[in-house]
Amino acid sequence: MISLKELHLIIDVPLAFCFLAVGVLLSCMTRFPQLRKFKQFLKFITSKQSHESHKNTITPLQALFTAMSTSLGMGTIVAAPLGVVIGGPGSLFWIMVYSFFGAVTKFSEATFAVKFKRYASDGTIIGGPTGYLYQIHPYLANWYGIVTVFLFSSWTAIQAKAMAATYSHQGVPEYATGAVMALFVFYILTGGAKRIGLFSSKLVPVMCAMYFTLCCLILFADLTALKDAIISIFSHAFSPAAPIGGFVGATAASGLKEGVFKAAFITEAGVGTAAIPHALSDAKKPTNQGILAMYSIIGDTFFCILSGLIAIITGTWTLGKISNDLPLLAFKQGLPTIGPLAYTITVTMFIIGTAVGNSLNASKSYAFFTNNRQMYFYYGFVSLCIFFGSIFDTSTLWEISEFIIPLIALPNLLGLIILTKKYRSELAE
């Protein structure tokens, strides 16, 4: 019988190529907006419209930060070092390649999420892939909505376990961390989209600034090591990475697979989940929100590359250890005095932001079926997932969530191709 781990190996390689192929195809169909729209992006984020919202909506910038709070989570910190351990330094090159083409995938997702958003009977917005997949066939929308409710719940439980494990080193019981986190997320969710948008807009800039500062302290402490690390990224993009220390070596193909798959996981481009908060935007023109989403991938990729570089510079990737502790080990080595404490504070913000964002996204999938009724039932459910996730072993949840991703990514990618072909002129203008 094939194990889940073996099944991942069978699925992940073709899925990685599928993610990249769709990104290239959409870029060609829409005339490479990632190269053409930067001036329009700057104009929009400085305009008055980007700060405006009405009842049941949030501002375009708040929608952007809410989406970023989900993608800028533990995945951003951990995924790149894990990719380097499995696929070698060249995996960071392929992360950047996919981010370039995947940006257009995200552009299409956010644009269609705003264009085809639906309203519940109370005026609340229900949007995201369920909205635009419904335009193709209700079955696709129903499938996506059902699966994402469970996917986000497992992701949130995993975040709770990461938080509890971090604070257990400080002597805090795991159940206490889980209880506090569950109550906090419940409070934020019950405040609706506006409270979530306000929270995310305040949190994201602070946590990004703190993590960036800490990474720079490590990266620029040895410029020669930094230069060598950057060279290794490009030199191993198309050539094998030889065994070093506990690292068993990697082929160029494994680097490509790891880079693309990790980039899709980090940026959520192709998975479609980042489009859910973008649908709550009050953007008058759907493509404007799509442009914000498209360039937000720069932030995701930037912090991902920082994490990967730290793993290379400190040498922690050569340990061959496939663990979420890799960034902590790198911080302990690069900043032995303030590293562990600073990492704990930063991780707390990343995890809380991700938990809130994931819970919001799942609530919109849940609302798709209930017409935004009985939402407190879901809020209670996700709070329980957070609490029990903090005290249970979540290794199985990781395997299940990774198995579910293809189940929602493939119909989402198919839907994007169909809709982009139909609305090509609108996206390519």
Q: Is residue 58 part of a domain?
A: no
What is the CA angle 426-365-289, rounded to 5?
30
- Return the closest-CA partner of residue 402 out of 1, 65, 3: 3
Q: Residue 23: which CATH number?
A: 1.20.1740.10
pLDDT at residue 108 in the model: 96
Mean pLDDT over all residues of the chain? 82
**What is the predicted pLDDT for the residue at 109?**
95
- pLDDT given for residue 248 in this prediction: 62
358-376 b/e (C-beta count within 10 Å ≥ 16 → b): bbbbbbbbbbbbeebeebe
In a domain, 122, yes or no: yes
DSSP string, 94-151: HHHHHHHHHHHHHHHHHHHHHHT-EE-TTS-EE-SHHHHHHTT-HHHHHHHHHHHHHH
Between 56 and 216, where is the model more confident? Answer: 216
Which residue type occupies 362? A
- What is the mean pLDDT of the segment spanning 38-50? 77
CA 242 – CA 82 distance, rounded (Å): 17
Is the model more confident about 87 or about 49? 87
* C-alpha to C-alpha distance for 350 and 65, rounded to whole angstroms: 13
Q: Quick check: 273 and 148 in contact, CB under 8 A?
A: yes
Residue 305 included in any domain: yes
Let me know if residue 56 belongs to a domain: no
Is residue 48, in this structure, part of any structural domain at all? no
Residue 52 lies in a domain: no
111 — pLDDT class (breaks 50, 70, 90): very high
When pLDDT is averaged across residues 293-312 and rounded to a whole number, the result is 90
Q: Can you give the residue range of the structural domain that contains 209?
A: 4-43+63-424
- pTM for this prediction: 0.85
Q: Per-residue pLDDT for 55 more than 70?
A: no
Residue 180 has pLDDT above 80, yes or no: yes
Please check whether residue 284 lies inside any domain of the structure: yes
Give the pLDDT score at 7: 64
Work out how many domains the chain is built from and give that number: 1
Q: Which residue has the higher pLDDT, 306 or 202?
A: 306
pLDDT at residue 185 in the model: 87
Tell me how crowded residue 285 is: count the other CB atoms within 10 A of its CB: 15
Question: Where do we find the tokens 């635009």?
Answer: 132
The reply to whether 50 falls in a domain is: no
